[in-house]
Amino acid sequence: MSENATRTERDSMGELQVPVAALYGAQTQRAVENFPISGLTMPRPFIRALGLIKAAAARTNAELGLLDTDIAEAIARAANAVAAGEHDAQFPVDVFQTGSGTSTNMNANEVIARLAGEDLGRTVHPNDHVNMGQSSNDVIPTAIHVSAALLAREALLPALGHLARTLEARAGELADVTTTGRTHLMDAMPVTLGQELGGWAAQVRAGMQRVEGALDTVQALAQGGTAVGTGINAHPDFGAGVARRLGEETGVDFRVAEDRFEALSSQDAAVALSGQLRTVAVSLMKIANDLRWMNSGPLAGLGEIALPALQPGSSIMPGKVNPVIPESVAMVAAQVMGNDATIGVAGQSGNFQLNVMLPVIAYNLLQSETLLANSARVLADSAISGFTVNESRLQAALDRNPILVTALNAVIGYEKGAAIAKKAYQEDRPVREVAREMTDLSDGELDRLLDPRALAAGGLPGQQRS
């Protein structure tokens, strides 16, 4: 049979030629022809969520006495196959389609109906059976929430937890390694590498908490609101039944939204989650850039650490090795920030009873979660866990850090300290030497007051916190 062979399908607008091997029907084909925009299709987590929703809907309708059990079970089997990724090639509709996502909902209805019909040996209708009690206007918002919640809980949060634990482990290993602190990219008081990495870990864990907080509203579903929020053509218990079954299937506490009009007309929960993803991206950008600075050199930069050498860094300069993982993570962060801007604009498009930029919200939100999850693991495993420390370079910089004189302020005063710092810097000499010449402090007092490890511990000069 020719690859270009077609069959005739019909919908309410008439006949249309559909590829003979396609499981979908006329409405999907119309969308394929109408939207040759980007070549981007709805992501796998979204198709998974659609399958889960259709299975839960069929079984709920059967439980409510609205759908024959054999048809419901055939639909559920087909929908679960869709959820498992067995038919992803049958979802060709472009992301940039009708703003409600109707084309993608009907794509799922047509594929599942055909699979269920083949299973039963009789016709299963995409609208009357698979879409029973539903509208694209509540299915697609529900699928956004379900897919975003599952992806966050199954991929993003575990990946961020892995990154945080990796940072904490390295912080413990490097707890006693002192380095020069920097503010404004200028030398400041000493800190330990353990403190630096501990700060990064705290950023990541705070980001996890923010995402967790945003997921509470994401787990509230629009299902049951149907076309405009009134629930027309759906049993009053349908939405709650779907949410319950989705929870049983996934282990996530899904529930019906308190107000379905809000759930259909706005995407504020997705906008809020995206904002927290942006915050996580900002944290990863900060960590990535700090690593790039610390790794810079090896001769003309800071050269404090050496990231794992993963690949040649230049097509023309032999031996050059670049900080490729932090650069990759920084690009991910930039993409997530851009996605958040798109989601923010799209969230404003809730006109009256329906948001009409649902597909692009779904695409960008799920891409952000996926990128952050993958980059967090790569950052942990290919950069954080394996970098080495150039302790001699750290010590040489500490010895000549004129800012150490800050520890003498309480003893000799700010003005005297400034004079010592300027002379030490001008003559490229250790602060300890210059202070010995310009004060009457003993060697023992200077050693105690200028001990970098003690200074990194904080507290009064020479006193380490317990």
CA–CA separation, 163 and 284 (whole Å): 10
Residue 227 CA to its chain's centroid (Å): 31
Burial of 172 (0-12, 13-18, 19+ CB in 10 A): exposed
Give me the phi and psi of 440, to 5 degrees please: -100, 20
Per DSSP (E only), the strands in 169-319 are 178-183, 186-192, 220-221, 255-256, 305-306
Indicate if 314 belongs to the active site: yes
C-alpha to C-alpha distance for 328 and 458, rounded to whole angstroms: 35
Given the residues 38, 314, 385, 442, select the one marked as catalytic. Answer: 314
Angle at 401 between CA 397 and CA 402, to 5 degrees: 165
C-alpha to C-alpha distance for 292 and 54, rounded to whole angstroms: 47
Q: Rounded to whole angstroms, how far apart are CA atoms 314 and 319?
A: 8
Task: Name the catalytic one among 2, 12, 184, 392.
Answer: 184
Cβ neighbours of 315 (radius 10 Å): 7
Residue whose entry in the numeric block shows the structure tokens 């690949």: 311
Distance between CA atoms of residues 222 and 236, nearest Å: 13
Contact yes or no for 172/384 (Cβ under 8 A)? no
**100 assigned to active site:** no
DSSP 403-459: GGGGGGHHHH-HHHHHHHHHHHHHHT--HHHHHHHHS---HHHHHHHT-HHHHHH-S
CA distance 278 to 289: 16
Residue with tokens 């090795």: 321
| Residue 67: partners with Cβ closer than 8 Å, 6 or more residues away | 58, 61, 129, 132
Instruction: Enumerate the active-site residues.
Output: 184, 314
